[in-house]
Chain A
Amino acid sequence: MAGPSGDRLIRVDMTTQTVKIVAFPEAWKLLGGRGLSARILVEECDATCDPLGPGNVLVMAPGVISGTAAPTSGRISIGGKSPLTGGIKEANAGGNPGQDLMKLGYRAVVVTGQPKDPNKRYALDVTADGAVVKEVPDCKGMWNYALIEHLAKSYPDTASFISIGPAGEQRLKGASVACTDQEQERHPARHAARGGLGAVMGAKGLKYVSIDPAKAGVRQAAERKEFVARCKKYTKDYLAGPQMFKTGTSTVVPVAQMLNTFPYKNRTAGQSPDAETLSGARIIESFATRGGRMHNCMTGCIVQCSNVVHDAEGNYKTSALEFETITLLGANCAIQSWEDVADLDRLCDEVGLDTIETGAAIAVYMDSGGMEWGDAAGAKGLLEQIAEGTELGVAIGNGAASIGKKRGHHRVPVVRGQAVPAWDPRPLKATGITYCTSPMGADHTAGLIVNPGMPQQDWVRASQEAQMVNALCDSSGFCQFLQPTLDDIRAFYGHLYGEEVSREQISDMAWQVLQDEWEFNRRAGLSEHGDQMPDCMKQDPIGPAKMVWDVPADLVVQAYQRQGDREQLFTMKASG
Chain B
Amino acid sequence: MPQVKVPPPYQGPTQGQARIDVIGTTVGECVEAVCARFAGFHELIFDAAGNVHKFVTLFVNGDEIERSALDTPVGKADEVEILAAIAGG
Q: How far is the CA of A452 from the CA of B16 in the complex (A)?
A: 8
A:317-345 near B, CB below 8 Å: 322-325
Contact assessment for A248 and B64 in the assembled complex, using a CB-CB cutoff below 8 Å: no
- 0 or 1 for each of A249-270: is its CB under 8 Å from B? (1 = yes): 1111011001100000000000
Contact assessment for A305 and B87 in the assembled complex, using a CB-CB cutoff below 8 Å: yes
Contact assessment for A453 and B14 in the assembled complex, using a CB-CB cutoff below 8 Å: yes
Q: How far is the CA of A323 from the CA of B53 in the complex (A)?
A: 18
Q: How far is the CA of A445 from the CA of B83 in the complex (A)?
A: 21
- 0 or 1 for each of B45-88: is its CB under 8 Å from A? (1 = yes): 00000000111010000001000000000000000000111111
Contact assessment for B64 and A259 in the assembled complex, using a CB-CB cutoff below 8 Å: no
Task: Kindly provide the distance from the CB of B79 to the nearest chain A CB, expressed in whole angstroms.
Answer: 15
- Give the residue name and chain of the A residue nearest to B12 (CB): A452
Contact assessment for B11 and A249 in the assembled complex, using a CB-CB cutoff below 8 Å: no
Cβ-neighbour of B85 out of A244, A453, A455 (below 8 A): A244
Contact assessment for A242 and B57 in the assembled complex, using a CB-CB cutoff below 8 Å: yes
List residues of chain A with CB within 8 A of the CB of B83: 242, 244
Q: How far is the CA of A249 from the CA of B86 in the complex (A)?
A: 8
Interface centre among B14, B44, B53, B86 (most CB of A within 10 A): B86
On chain A, the number of residues with a Cβ less than 8 Å from chain B's Cβ atoms is 37
At the interface, is chain A mostly helix, strand, loop or mixed?
loop
On chain B, the number of residues with a Cβ less than 8 Å from chain A's Cβ atoms is 24
Q: How far is the CA of A255 from the CA of B83 in the complex (A)?
A: 11
Instruction: With A450-B9, A454-B11 as known contacts, state yes or no: A445 contacts B86, CB within 8 Å.
Output: no
Interface centre among B9, B14, B44, B88 (most CB of A within 10 A): B88
Contact assessment for B53 and A245 in the assembled complex, using a CB-CB cutoff below 8 Å: no
List residues of chain B with CB within 8 A of the CB of A114: none
Q: How far is the CA of A255 from the CA of B57 in the complex (A)?
A: 13
- 0 or 1 for each of B8-25: is its CB under 8 Å from A? (1 = yes): 111111111100000000
Cβ-neighbour of B89 out of A242, A254, A458, A576 (below 8 A): A576
Contact assessment for A444 and B88 in the assembled complex, using a CB-CB cutoff below 8 Å: yes
A:250-308 near B, CB below 8 Å: 250-252, 254-255, 258-259, 281, 305
- Give the residue name and chain of the A residue nearest to B89 (CB): A249
Contact assessment for B87 and A281 in the assembled complex, using a CB-CB cutoff below 8 Å: no
Task: Kindly provide the distance from the CB of A323 to the nearest chain B CB, expressed in whole angstroms.
Answer: 4
Cβ-neighbour of B12 out of A259, A305, A324, A576 (below 8 A): A259
Contact assessment for A453 and B11 in the assembled complex, using a CB-CB cutoff below 8 Å: yes
- 0 or 1 for each of A372-396: is its CB under 8 Å from B? (1 = yes): 0000000000000000000000000
Task: Kindly provide the distance from the CB of A551 to the nearest chain B CB, expressed in whole angstroms.
Answer: 16
Cβ-neighbour of A575 out of B14, B57, B88 (below 8 A): B88
Task: Kindly provide the distance from the CB of B42 to the nearest chain A CB, expressed in whole angstroms.
Answer: 11
**Which residues of B are interface residues toward A (Cβ below 8 A)?**
8-17, 43-44, 53-55, 57, 64, 83-89
